[in-house]
Structure 1
């Protein structure tokens, strides 16, 4: 099968391209910019475009499938040529469904926790050498690629994202998967550049639940009132399995899960991660993994990439980085961090740089998000606001919305880096929250 990727360099897209290459497909692609690690990984597989840009001449009648990434625009010249030739054009999730429509599809959804839960499930399955197809949004220890596609596997585990599918398909990605087994971890308003009201956002999850196949299974977080409302109001037929935070204790800096089989030591911490673990356990039960085998495997799970991930520093200081940027994720990460290191001086840094996090109307969602930290810092770039054509935001406004008058607010990277360099990183513990890089800050030094 011959496939062509428009915007092949994206994090998700390049992993799918590699998976198809490994499956034996003929893969080509284009992009106007490709960065590391995508560039090296595509080059290693021999599918890195020879030059950057869009080339309509690459689109021929002999292509079986064109896969369109979100990075491309509606007026992309390669897309126009594909439409002109009448080629089949897929979004990323649409093509994944085509690859898995004859398998049992397990879809992990939610505003927060979905990457970690998917990662936990795959870690357990890999530990017990149970082979499945999968797509996950973070690099995992023991896995070469974030996407795996085979002819023979019976199951496919998919991280289900509520964001848009492609520039020409404005449905949420997870609405295309039609799960046989699903999980919903939580609902907290996100992507406000697309979903203008909270109800618009919740509607995506209502549709997701409605897309579960007849007689399927939904594992859901019963501690989230919005999730419970969506589940209770669902009209289609499926089996409902609720889960909640399990009992645990922290002893000498180590988290122990309290189970009928005894205390299980874990390599992750935080109540939200224990909640994620419980959801993963219920999904693994559906895949034939007994609880005893689940606990044996989960002890060695160290977390998904950039999810409360410990950074090895040259000075041996204790520092964790987290992908958290949405309010619910920030609050969960801070709560976990302050609970785990309650006897240490705690520093927390948050970078605001997405459209949602910099929207004045949305900033109210961050109220008290940094409470419990001894030193709390928020960084956003005034230049980034200009680039995004957004109105200026004052540091005083940030403090007001976070309801934290002691908050340190930096609006340019130079001042942030200067402050960072005054700190003794071996004094206290550090939590760095961002989907960016704090203006190029090196966290290892």
Structure 2
């Protein structure tokens, strides 16, 4: 029986990988200094929740087959130091995924935005069509128990992140998968704390493209000028396949794909999602499915968690939740909701939560991202700003950064709650965007506001 120990087992991907290995029959242990839900309950149910929080070098012993090291751990982690002293192999999770999939066709979905949605679409269609495949995706998807699967399947579809691999490997995760097929959806400055220079950030994607093997394939979104330029300049001898938004039209708030065999109604919307869908279609074709099979399965795709997720709706209003936080994601989501429902008022609320978004030097990148919203609101948690040792920006600074004079700032969750509960949501959509939770804002009263308008 293979034995692996996870350092920082509580992370989203890390705990899913640990559960996937338990399913595979491996013996798994782990440690972490903080474990939140749903990781805690899921690890406990599998019998691998650490008894105590913290790091315990005595857990590291010579008969382990390896250590899987999470990004949350520090370079001076006592368990990591003990493993290095004993000469136990230490893997980041990307390296481990590659080691488990060397004999498979490896598909990597990369990009500053859209990669979770594209990966989710592909997984949905492959599953619906009965294909056998492994996967790694960065969000929970309806119909999939885990975010990771490792089996004897001939294909693995991987959401490839450009963020750093581990405390002892400062290169992007997506290099480690050694793709056969790569898709790049977009390049927009993200991870400002790790890539403070935009040229260096762009270079990571060029490097990924150049690594496409001669018998491989590079699928890229030509609508994005940075992706188009990088792809066309790439030294890869592999096949290059550009894509843009799939043809579609909107009928009474519903999006219909225009296909060679007629119209197909789908459950997602927005130009960015039509681009994502076209990229997913090309990946599925590369894996042997026909366009007809894709169009047969895509209508039942409801989206990845927190991507234009509908929390409540009435006859003339919808409460959306979305993960958008980077400028490109924010603009795409705001525009998509307004274009889909042009006759409705749009109230857009953005929580600035990440290091990049809270950094005053990065703020100009948010210019005009909320222009399409009728009411634009920003929430800042002073505690989150202080933890990142950054300056708390005031309303005037944010108005200048977003180029929106009527932008409203809240720094207290209760005040934001009162403001939102006081609004009339007749003929109105409310869009909540954040990678956080507005300091534990209770969404139930807001959901009830929409239900009161039911016909």
Q: Is residue 289 of structure 1 aligned with residue 274 of structure 2?
A: no
Structure 2 runs not aligned, ≥5 long: 446-455
Map 1:139-218; keep pairs closer than 5 Å: 139-150=140-151, 152-218=152-218
1:412, distance to aligned residue in structure 2 (A): 2.2
1:161, distance to aligned residue in structure 2 (A): 0.2
Deviations 1:182-237 (Å, cap 9, x if unpaired)?
10101001001000111010111011112222320011101111111111211121
3-state DSSP of counterpart to 1:183? strand
How far apart in 1 are the matches of 2:269 and 2:231? 28
Deviations 1:366-414 (Å, cap 9, x if unpaired)?
1111111111101112222222111231110000010000111112222
Q: Is residue 363 of structure 1 aligned with residue 352 of structure 2?
A: no
1:92, distance to aligned residue in structure 2 (A): 1.0
Q: Is residue 397 of structure 1 aligned with residue 397 of structure 2?
A: yes
Contact 2:219 2:241 in 1 (8 A): yes
Map 1:220-235; keep pairs closer than 5 Å: 220-235=220-235
What TM-score results when the alignment is normalised by the length of structure 1? 0.98
1:252, distance to aligned residue in structure 2 (A): 1.1
1:317, distance to aligned residue in structure 2 (A): 5.3
Q: Is residue 250 of structure 1 aligned with residue 260 of structure 2?
A: no
Quote the residue 2:452 is aligned against.
none
Contact 1:6 1:66 in 2 (8 A): yes
Map 1:92-171; keep pairs closer than 5 Å: 92-150=93-151, 152-171=152-171
How far apart in 2 are the matches of 1:381 and 1:40? 28
How far apart in 2 are the matches of 1:200 and 1:442? 40
3-state DSSP of counterpart to 1:194? coil
Quote the residue 1:5 is aligned against.
6
1:427, distance to aligned residue in structure 2 (A): 5.1
3-state DSSP of counterpart to 1:423? coil
3-state DSSP of counterpart to 1:170? strand
Map 1:399-438; keep pairs closer than 5 Å: 399-426=399-426, 428-438=428-438
3-state DSSP of counterpart to 2:241? strand
1:312, distance to aligned residue in structure 2 (A): 3.1
Contact 2:316 2:427 in 1 (8 A): no
Contact 2:316 2:428 in 1 (8 A): no
1:300, distance to aligned residue in structure 2 (A): 0.6
Quote the residue 1:49 is aligned against.
50
1:442, distance to aligned residue in structure 2 (A): 2.1
Structure 1 runs not aligned, ≥5 long: none
Contact 1:346 1:429 in 2 (8 A): yes
How far apart in 1 are the matches of 2:13 and 2:132? 21
Contact 1:324 1:433 in 2 (8 A): yes
Q: Is residue 339 of structure 1 aligned with residue 336 of structure 2?
A: no
Q: Is residue 305 of structure 1 aligned with residue 305 of structure 2?
A: yes
Quote the residue 2:348 is aligned against.
348
Moved over 4 A (4+): 313-317
How many residues align? The count is 444
What TM-score results when the alignment is normalised by the length of structure 2? 0.96
Contact 1:311 1:444 in 2 (8 A): no
